């Protein structure tokens, strides 16, 4: 790489389903800025990983099988949610509380400040907003049509909705709790939205399209979209926002300079790529592959493919430590639930 080499590692936690890890710390408290929180599939508890010892140090019962999990550094809480249930666990007091919504959400978004949660009922076309400090629902927006994606503005005062029914993108002013809808139409069905590194711009992908389009939110004309080799399946920002990574169904990973809005690399992959794990700031990206149980590795400094890492099972959602030094992947495996495999990515890079 162009930057000095650093100790880079990947830890695969085998069979997190049913995992009962040894207790390796004397205190049963967690630090949201240090520890990692992993939802255990189809179970009502969350595993807490201490990245210093590379081990699960405790499990916390959240009373639901989470479809969403997030951490709020501002409030020192982690949030687990499913449907109409939201569990907020206060890591300072080491106890949790439940919030029951009037709507069953199928996706959730934490605000950039970590103080508010958006609970999205996509088919119903409604979004409920929860104040995590008071643990109360503070407002709701209805009749939005079918929702494909939602993203907060960086300051948390607006939320942008990508519509599945041809309504394009709608901006919602959240500051006054009586949201003002600002239609940004003419975009067709929008499948995904990501924030640009600086406001006021989003990047959007249309359903079934090979284009990634910039959307200026300040009324300035939008630049022409970028055309990829295949239909867009996944958009992901790198940690600094310097690059937007795009996986398309032609089996390529495209890197876009988010500031200049130009393609800087189109890299080979596989047609079964499915999830992008942007890790280690702007140095490395992993892309999971269906069927072959492997991660493709990309060097984002040199903008080139650097090999594969074979796994024992299909990777779950990855978590990266705050210092960017480790990526943790939960995977299902037929081996003993106590087994784990460490794969060092510096052998590949």
- Which tokens hold the place of 342? 């460490």
Asked if residue 139 and residue 47 are part of one domain, the reply reads yes
- 176 is a domain residue: no
Among residues 143, 163, 192, the one where a domain terminates is 143
For the cut 70, the answer to whether the pLDDT of residue 49 exceeds it is yes
300 and 315 share a domain? yes
Q: For position 13, what pLDDT does the model report?
A: 65
154: left (phi over 0), alpha (psi -120 to 50) or beta: alpha
4 and 81 fall within a common domain: no
Q: Which two tokens stand for residue 247?
A: 């996986």
- Judge whether 184 lies within some domain: no
The CATH number that applies at residue 273 is: 2.130.10.10
209 to 9, 165, 203, 223, 227: CA distances (angstroms) = 36, 15, 14, 17, 9
Let me know if residue 205 belongs to a domain.
no
**Whether residue 10 is found in the same domain as residue 53:** no
Domain boundary at 115, 143, 171, which?
Answer: 143
Same domain for 349 and 279, yes or no, is yes
Condensed to tens digits (0 to 9), the pLDDT of residues 199-218 reads: 678 899 988 889 998 888 88
Residues 31 and 72: beta-carbon distance below 8 Å: no
Residue 259, domain member (yes or no): yes
Last residue of a domain, one of 126, 143, 160: 143
Is pLDDT above 90 for 166? no
pLDDT at site 23 = 28
pLDDT band at 240 (very low <50, low <70, confident <90, very high): confident
Angle among Cα 57, 71, 111 to the nearest 5 degrees reads 175
More confident residue, 32 or 307: 307
Name which residue leads in pLDDT, 30 or 1: 30
- Same structural domain for residues 1 and 37? no
Classify residue 345: in a domain, yes or no: yes
Q: How many CB atoms lie within 10 A of CB 63?
A: 13
**Same domain (yes/no): 4, 65:** no
When divided into structural domains, the chain yields a total of: 2
- pLDDT beyond 80 at 33: no
User: Which pLDDT score is estimated for 107?
Assistant: 94
Q: Residue 36: inside a domain, yes or no?
A: yes
- Residue 267: give the domain boundaries: 1-16+228-349
Q: Which residue has the higher pLDDT, 307 or 28?
A: 307
Res 179: pLDDT:
57
Are 6 and 80 found together in one domain?
no
Taking residues 254-276, report their average pLDDT. Answer: 90
Residue 309 covered by a domain: yes
- The phi, psi pair for 346, rounded to 5°, reads -70, -10
**Do both 4 and 49 map to the same domain?**
no
Residue 332, classed as helix, strand or coil, is: coil
CA dist 193 and 117 (Å) reads 18
Residue 178 within any structural domain of the chain: no
* Span 311-324, average pLDDT: 73
Residues 240 and 348 in one domain: yes
Do residue 6 and residue 88 come from a single domain?
A: no
Q: Higher model confidence: residue 18 or residue 152?
A: 152
Q: Is residue 236 located within the same domain as residue 291?
A: yes
Is pLDDT above 80 for 172?
Answer: yes
């Amino acid at each position: 790489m162009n930057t000095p080499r650093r100790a880079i590692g990947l830890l695969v936690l085998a069979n997190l389903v049913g995992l009962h890890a040894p207790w390796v710390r004397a205190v049963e408290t967690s630090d949201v800025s240090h520890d990692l929180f992993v939802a255990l599939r189809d179970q009502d508890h969350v595993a807490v990983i201490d990245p210093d010892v590379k081990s699960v140090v405790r499990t916390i019962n959240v009373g639901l099988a989470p479809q969403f999990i997030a951490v709020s550094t501002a409030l020192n809480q982690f949030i687990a949610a499913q449907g109409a249930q939201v569990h907020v666990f206060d890591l300072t007091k080491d106890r949790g509380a439940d919030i029951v919504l009037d709507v069953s959400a199928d996706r959730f978004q934490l605000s950039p400040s970590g103080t508010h949660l958006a609970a999205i009922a996509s088919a119903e076309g409604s979004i409920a907003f929860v104040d995590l400090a008071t643990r109360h629902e503070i407002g709701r927006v209805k009749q939005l049509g079918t929702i494909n994606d939602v993203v907060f503005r960086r300051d948390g005062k607006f939320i942008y909705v990508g519509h599945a029914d041809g309504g394009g993108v709608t901006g919602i002013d959240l500051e006054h709790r009586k949201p003002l809808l600002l239609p940004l139409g003419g975009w067709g069905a929008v499948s995904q939205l990501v924030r640009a590194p600086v406001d006021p711009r989003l990047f959007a992908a249309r359903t079934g399209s090979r284009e990634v389009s910039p959307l200026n939110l300040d009324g300035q004309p939008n630049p022409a979209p970028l055309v990829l080799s295949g239909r867009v399946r996944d958009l992901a920002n790198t940690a600094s926002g310097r690059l937007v990574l795009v996986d398309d169904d032609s089996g390529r990973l495209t890197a876009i300079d988010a500031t200049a809005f130009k393609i800087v690399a189109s890299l080979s992959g596989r047609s079964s790529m499915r999830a992008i794990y942007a890790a280690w700031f702007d140095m490395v990206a992993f892309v999971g592959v269906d069927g072959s149980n492997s991660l493709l590795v990309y060097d984002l400094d040199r903008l080139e493919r650097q090999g594969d890492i074979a796994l024992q099972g299909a990777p779950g959602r990855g978590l990266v430590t705050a210092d960017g030094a480790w990526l943790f992947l939960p995977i299902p495996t037929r081996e003993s639930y106590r087994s784990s495999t460490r794969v060092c990515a510096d052998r590949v890079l």
